[in-house]
Structure 1
Amino acid sequence: MSTPIRQQYLDLRKRYPGTILFFRLGDFYETFDDDAKLVAEELQITLTSKPMGKDLRVPLAGVPYHAIDQHVAKLVARGYRVAICEQLADPSEVKGLVPRDVVRIVTAGTVTSEASLEAGRPNYLGAFVRRGRDAALALADVTTGEVRVIPGEDALLEAGRSPLAELLLEDLADAPALPLPVVQRPLLSDLAVEAELARQFGEHAQAGLLPGPAAAAAVAHLLIYLRETYPAALGAIQRVRAEGPESGLLVDERTLRNLDVFPAPGKTASLLAVIDRSRTAMGTRLLRHWLSHPLRDREALEARFDAVAWAMGRPIERERAQAVLRGMPDLARLAGKVGARSATPRDLAALRDGLRAVFDLGARLPAAELPPLLAEAVSAFSGAAEPLAALDAALAEDPPASFDEGGVIRPGFSPEIDSLHALTRDARSFLLGLERQERERTGIKSLKVGHNKVFGYYIEVSAANAALVPPHYQRRQTLVGAERYVTEELKEYESRLIGARDRLVELERQAFAALLESLAAGLPGLQAVAEGVAKVDVILGLAETAAERGYTRPAFTAGELDIRAGRHPVVEAAVGTGRFVPNDCVLGGDTQILVITGPNMSGKSTFLRQVALIALLAQAGSFVPAAEARLPLFDRIFSRIGAQDDLAAGQSTFMVEMVETAQILHRATPSSLVILDEVGRGTSTYDGMAIARAVIEFLHNRKEGAALTLFATHYHELTALEGVLPRVRNAHVAVREEGGEVVFEHRVVPGAADRSYGIHVARLAGLPHAVINRAEHLLSEFEAQRQPGASSPALPANGRVAPEAFQPALFAAVSPIEEELAGLDVDGMTPIEAIQKLYELRARARAGRVPR
Structure 2
Amino acid sequence: MSYTPMIQQYLAVKAQYPDAFLFFRLGDFYEMFFEDAKKASKELEIALTSRNGGKDEYIPMCGVPYHAAKQYIKVLIDKGYKIAICEQMEDPKQAKGMVRREVIQMITPGTVMEDESLEPKKNNYLAALSAFSDGSYGFALSDLTTGETKVTLISGWDGVIQEIDANDVREIVLNPGFDKEKKETLTEQLSVTVSENESDKVPGELEANTAGIDQEKLRSPLGRLLNYLQTTQKRSLDHLQPADVYHINEYMMIDPHSRRNLELTQTNRDKKTYGSLLWLLDDVKTAMGGRRLKQWIEKPLLNQEKIEERLNAVEALKTHMLERETLRAALGEVYDLERLVGRVSFGNVNPREVLQLKRSLEQVPPIKQVLAEIGDSTLERYGQEMDPCADVRSLIDRAIVDDPPFSTADGGMIKQGYDETLDRYRDASKNGKRWIAELEAKERQETGIKSLKIGYNRVFGYYIEVSRPNLKLLPEGRYERRQTLSNAERFITPELKEKEQVILEAEEKRVGLEYQIFSDVRLKIKEHAARLQKLARLVSSLDVLQSFASVSDRNGYVAPSFSNKRVLKIKNSRHPVIEKVMKDGSFVANDISMDKSCDMLLITGPNMGGKSTYMRQAALAAIMAQIGCFVPADQATLPVFDQIFTRIGAADDLVSGQSTFMVEMNEAKYALAHATQNSLILLDEIGRGTSTYDGIAIAQAIVEYIHQHISAKTFFSTHYHELTFLEMKLSRLKNIHVGAMEENGKVIFLHKVLDGQADKSYGIHVAKLAGLPDNLIERADEILRGLEQSSDSHKASEEQPDSVHEPKVVEEIAATERNSSLESANEEAEQLAFFADPVPKSMKKGMNAREQKVIHQLVRLDLLTMTPMEAMNRLYALQKELKQ
Same-fold call, TM cutoff 0.5: yes
The equivalent position to 2:703 in structure 1, one of 683, 687, 696, is 696
Which residue identity lines up with residue 249 of structure 2 in the other structure?
E
Post-superposition Cα deviations, 1:710-748, rounded to whole Å, max 9, x if no partner, equal 000001011110011111110000112223322111111
1:783 Cα deviation (Å)? 1.4
> For the residues of structure 2 that align with 1:508 and 1:313, how far apart are their CA atoms?
50
* 1:263 has 2:260 as partner: no
Question: Cα–Cα, structure 1 residues 143 and 660, in superposed 2: closer, same or farther, change >3 Å?
Answer: same
* Secondary structure in structure 2 of the residue aligned to 1:147: strand
Q: Are the aligned partners of 2:28 and 2:65 in contact in 1 as well (CA < 8 Å)? A: yes
Q: Are the aligned partners of 2:371 and 2:383 in contact in 1 as well (CA < 8 Å)? A: no
* 1:283 has 2:289 as partner: yes
Identify the residue that residue 320 of structure 2 maps to in structure 1: 314
> For the residues of structure 2 that align with 1:213 and 1:273, how far apart are their CA atoms?
40
Q: Are the aligned partners of 1:549 and 1:577 in contact in 2 as well (CA < 8 Å)? A: no
Question: Cα–Cα, structure 1 residues 93 and 513, in superposed 2: closer, same or farther, change >3 Å?
Answer: farther
Identify the residue that residue 785 of structure 2 maps to in structure 1: 780
Identify the residue that residue 163 of structure 2 maps to in structure 1: 158
Residues 400-415 of structure 1 aligned to structure 2 (within 5 Å) = 400-415=405-420
The equivalent position to 1:174 in structure 2, one of 169, 182, 198, is 182
Which residue identity lines up with residue 486 of structure 2 in the other structure?
V
* 1:685 has 2:692 as partner: yes
- Gaps of at least 5 residues in structure 1 are 803-852
Identify the residue that residue 35 of structure 1 maps to in structure 2: 36
Percent identity of equivalent pairs: 41
* 1:709 has 2:714 as partner: yes
1:426 Cα deviation (Å)? 4.2
Q: Are the aligned partners of 1:562 and 1:631 in contact in 2 as well (CA < 8 Å)? A: yes
Identify the residue that residue 875 of structure 2 maps to in structure 1: none
The equivalent position to 2:305 in structure 1, one of 299, 302, 315, is 299
1:101 Cα deviation (Å)? 1.1
Q: Are the aligned partners of 1:167 and 1:180 in contact in 2 as well (CA < 8 Å)? A: no
> For the residues of structure 2 that align with 1:392 and 1:32, how far apart are their CA atoms?
48
* Secondary structure in structure 2 of the residue aligned to 1:15: coil
Identify the residue that residue 223 of structure 2 maps to in structure 1: 220
Q: Are the aligned partners of 2:574 and 2:590 in contact in 1 as well (CA < 8 Å)? A: yes
Residues 127-146 of structure 1 aligned to structure 2 (within 5 Å) = 127-133=128-134, 134-146=136-148
> For the residues of structure 1 that align with 2:353 and 2:91, how far apart are their CA atoms?
25
Identify the residue that residue 813 of structure 2 maps to in structure 1: 799
Q: Are the aligned partners of 1:128 and 1:156 in contact in 2 as well (CA < 8 Å)? A: no
1:556 Cα deviation (Å)? 0.5
Identify the residue that residue 870 of structure 2 maps to in structure 1: none
Q: Are the aligned partners of 2:165 and 2:190 in contact in 1 as well (CA < 8 Å)? A: no
* Secondary structure in structure 2 of the residue aligned to 1:208: coil
Residues 247-646 of structure 1 aligned to structure 2 (within 5 Å) = 247-264=250-267, 265-267=270-272, 268-363=274-369, 365-470=370-475, 471-558=477-564, 559-576=566-583, 578-646=585-653
Q: TM-score, normalised by structure 1?
A: 0.89
> For the residues of structure 2 that align with 1:586 and 1:560, how far apart are their CA atoms?
8
* 1:668 has 2:682 as partner: no
Question: Cα–Cα, structure 1 residues 19 and 714, in superposed 2: closer, same or farther, change >3 Å?
Answer: same
> For the residues of structure 2 that align with 1:378 and 1:321, how far apart are their CA atoms?
12
- Gaps of at least 5 residues in structure 2 are 797-803, 817-884
Compare 501-510 and 522-531 and name the one that shifted more. 501-510
* 1:148 has 2:150 as partner: yes
1:519 Cα deviation (Å)? 1.3
Which residue identity lines up with residue 609 of structure 1 in the other structure?
R
> For the residues of structure 2 that align with 1:791 and 1:391, how far apart are their CA atoms?
83
1:70 Cα deviation (Å)? 1.2
1:641 Cα deviation (Å)? 0.8
1:67 Cα deviation (Å)? 1.6
Compare 745-754 and 442-451 and name the one that shifted more. 442-451
1:610 Cα deviation (Å)? 0.2
Q: Are the aligned partners of 2:285 and 2:328 in contact in 1 as well (CA < 8 Å)? A: yes
Post-superposition Cα deviations, 1:431-468, rounded to whole Å, max 9, x if no partner, equal 22121111122222211111112212111111112222
Post-superposition Cα deviations, 1:516-540, rounded to whole Å, max 9, x if no partner, equal 1111111111111111111121111
Q: Are the aligned partners of 2:110 and 2:170 in contact in 1 as well (CA < 8 Å)? A: yes
> For the residues of structure 2 that align with 1:371 and 1:26, how far apart are their CA atoms?
61
Which residue identity lines up with residue 513 of structure 2 in the other structure?
L
Post-superposition Cα deviations, 1:74-110, rounded to whole Å, max 9, x if no partner, equal 0111232111112334445655544321111111111
* Secondary structure in structure 2 of the residue aligned to 1:737: strand
Question: Cα–Cα, structure 1 residues 367 and 429, in superposed 2: closer, same or farther, change >3 Å?
Answer: same
Post-superposition Cα deviations, 1:191-240, rounded to whole Å, max 9, x if no partner, equal x52x42x43133xx656336x32221111111111112223372321211
Post-superposition Cα deviations, 1:391-443, rounded to whole Å, max 9, x if no partner, equal 11222222212233321212111010111123334454232212111112222
* Secondary structure in structure 2 of the residue aligned to 1:563: strand
Q: Are the aligned partners of 2:53 and 2:59 in contact in 1 as well (CA < 8 Å)? A: yes
Identify the residue that residue 246 of structure 1 maps to in structure 2: 249
Identify the residue that residue 741 of structure 1 maps to in structure 2: 746
Which residue identity lines up with residue 139 of structure 1 in the other structure?
L
Compare 636-645 and 176-185 and name the one that shifted more. 176-185
> For the residues of structure 1 that align with 2:436 and 2:789, how far apart are their CA atoms?
106
> For the residues of structure 1 that align with 2:561 and 2:326, how far apart are their CA atoms?
30
Question: Cα–Cα, structure 1 residues 551 and 427, in superposed 2: closer, same or farther, change >3 Å?
Answer: farther
Post-superposition Cα deviations, 1:780-821, rounded to whole Å, max 9, x if no partner, equal 11112223166995654563489xxxxxxxxxxxxxxxxxxx
Post-superposition Cα deviations, 1:277-312, rounded to whole Å, max 9, x if no partner, equal 001111111111111100011111111011101110
Q: Are the aligned partners of 2:676 and 2:711 in contact in 1 as well (CA < 8 Å)? A: yes
* Secondary structure in structure 2 of the residue aligned to 1:164: coil
1:554 Cα deviation (Å)? 0.3
Which residue identity lines up with residue 437 of structure 2 in the other structure?
L
* Secondary structure in structure 1 of the residue aligned to 2:363: helix
Compare 345-354 and 422-431 and name the one that shifted more. 422-431
Which residue identity lines up with residue 213 of structure 1 in the other structure?
E
> For the residues of structure 1 that align with 2:165 and 2:569, how far apart are their CA atoms?
30
> For the residues of structure 1 that align with 2:743 and 2:648, how far apart are their CA atoms?
31
Question: Cα–Cα, structure 1 residues 700 and 795, in superposed 2: closer, same or farther, change >3 Å?
Answer: farther
Identify the residue that residue 78 of structure 1 maps to in structure 2: 79
> For the residues of structure 2 that align with 1:577 and 1:587, how far apart are their CA atoms?
30
Q: CA RMSD in A?
A: 2.2
> For the residues of structure 1 that align with 2:352 and 2:237, how far apart are their CA atoms?
22
1:370 Cα deviation (Å)? 3.2
Post-superposition Cα deviations, 1:143-191, rounded to whole Å, max 9, x if no partner, equal 1111122322224311111121112223234344533234253554xxx
* Secondary structure in structure 1 of the residue aligned to 2:795: coil
> For the residues of structure 1 that align with 2:92 and 2:330, how far apart are their CA atoms?
47
> For the residues of structure 2 that align with 1:500 and 1:207, how far apart are their CA atoms?
49
> For the residues of structure 2 that align with 1:345 and 1:358, how far apart are their CA atoms?
21
Q: Are the aligned partners of 2:197 and 2:227 in contact in 1 as well (CA < 8 Å)? A: no
> For the residues of structure 2 that align with 1:233 and 1:315, how far apart are their CA atoms?
45
> For the residues of structure 1 that align with 2:43 and 2:341, how far apart are their CA atoms?
33
Identify the residue that residue 653 of structure 1 maps to in structure 2: 660
* Secondary structure in structure 2 of the residue aligned to 1:648: coil
1:371 Cα deviation (Å)? 1.8
Question: Cα–Cα, structure 1 residues 564 and 586, in superposed 2: closer, same or farther, change >3 Å?
Answer: same
> For the residues of structure 1 that align with 2:266 and 2:234, how far apart are their CA atoms?
33
Compare 588-597 and 403-412 and name the one that shifted more. 403-412
Question: Cα–Cα, structure 1 residues 52 and 349, in superposed 2: closer, same or farther, change >3 Å?
Answer: farther
Identify the residue that residue 209 of structure 1 maps to in structure 2: 213
